[in-house]
Structure 1
């Protein structure tokens, strides 16, 4: 796997919002999942900068930005 195609270089990787380790971030490709309770917010998947998947993009489509 090409290291430049890892999560840390992906347009859907949100490093600024992760509250985990320094090399972790949130994957913003799919919508949030796994609401812990009916009145709770959904959770974005936490991934490592070195992880990868089949959805890698260098730019977000149509200039979209990550949801707040």
Structure 2
């Protein structure tokens, strides 16, 4: 079982909180926005969702 991670680029302000909090480096900052670079590593902990004040991240069970 894996997780699907979606970042809404319209909402993302690129503060990097999700990049910093993710224990398995799912995210990277590119062009001032967070992007998913290692979705297969996602543990489903939703730490990224909790730190994103813009509600730009969704983690769904696949």
TM normalised by structure 2 equals 0.29
TM normalised by structure 1 equals 0.28
Query: More helix per residue: 1 or 2?
Result: 2
Instruction: Kindly name which structure, 1 or 2, has the bigger radius of gyration based on alpha carbons.
Output: 1
